Copies of this chain bind each other. A is one copy, B any other.
Amino acid sequence: MTPAILVTGGAGYVGSHTVTTLLERQSGQEFEIVVVDNLSNAYRSEGQKKPESLRIIEEITNKTIHFYELDIRDADALSKVFETHNVECVIHFAALKAVGESVEKPLEYYQANIGGTCTLMETMRKYGVFKLIYSSSCTVYGEPERLPLDEGHPTGRGLTSPYGKSKYFCEEIMKDLSISDKKWKIISLRYFNPVGAHRSGRIGEDPAGIPNNLMPFIAQVAVGRLSELKVFGNDYPTPDGTGVRDYIHVEDLAEGHVKAMKLFQQPGFSGFHAINLGTGTGYSVLEMVAAFKAASGKDIPYRIIGRRAGDIATNYSDVALSHKLLGWRAVKTLEDMCADTWRWQSKNPNGFKTS
């Protein structure tokens, strides 16, 4: 039976790009990709079985994805997937991820993110699967005590959103689990700020409602869906006063997952390992606006408004550990991030609904 990589939340933004990269790297039939997703944040065209993102990936790669519509908190449904496929490892993206919404609906976030992760790990253990790559976030570091943020930086302090806390709690649960049972091999990838889209322009980030994140907001202003960008504060202690973040191209991020999977093959590799995925370079909001304007040829009107609660001034990643352990570095430039986002957005002004 062909080994399978189970991808939870594989229809979403980072999940779909990781699935694409996995399939693009595949030369023969070494593994099959099994995606489970409850489609709470993914669009499916009428009459289709698969969400648009997966349908398009199958076209791009000319390969088949096994897809099951289910919520990972449904232990019975999840068990059936493990019974049907020879799951070798799991890449776990499935989670709710809107910071602002998490403040309004904390219980839903904790139930989906912690409950989902616990049920997934319980099911993995039941079927003897102990290799897990987890979709974590630099949010777990809270307000930086030092920069760049290395993996030894304290986590869990002063976290301001249930979203961020849920990522931190899940990491702690995974740490404790890997201490209790040496069979576990868990890699928690702490993403900085994923942006960009597949170079084809056919899949990309498709947020529901008003985007929470800068890049899709800029892109929707450029394409005319939104009238102006709101900039949350220009009085931060940064060169131009706007917040500085470490943006990373989603294709680099996807490649990081592929590299992380190779760690599982290393003799003696076990336990819980947190690894940053970032570029190591921060850009300000206004630098992003300028770069996107250059890439798209569109004007990006913006307005400075007050700071947003819970935002920090600056963060960027220490990349030493990811380079050492994964042999990986982000290679895409800021121009690539903007050009690829623009290709996706201009081809699909309303996201997957128009593709």
Contact = CB atoms under 8 A, between A and B. Distances in A.
A143 B165 CA distance: 21
Max chain B Cβ within 10 angstroms of own Cβ: one of A118, A121, A157, A173? A173
B173 A110 contact: yes
Chain A interface extent, by class: 20 to 34
Given A111-B122, A156-B156, A157-B157, A103 B176 contact: yes
Nearest to A115: B115
Nearest to A156: B156
A122 B107 CA distance: 7
Contact of A118 (B115, B125, B172): B115
A167 to B, nearest CB: 12
A64 B25 CA distance: 68
Contact of A121 (B103, B107, B118, B165): B107
Interface string A68-103: 000000000000000000000000000000000001
Q: What is the count of identical protomers in the complex?
A: 2
A106 B156 contact: no
A107 B172 CA distance: 11
Nearest to A157: B157
A272 B163 CA distance: 19
9 contacts: A105-B180, A106-B179, A107-B122, A107-B125, A110-B114, A110-B118, A111-B122, A114-B169, A156-B156
Interface of A: 103-107, 110-111, 114-115, 118, 121-122, 125, 156-157, 162, 165, 169, 172-173, 176-177, 179-180
* Nearest 3 Cβ contacts at the A-B interface: A106-B176, A162-B176, A111-B118
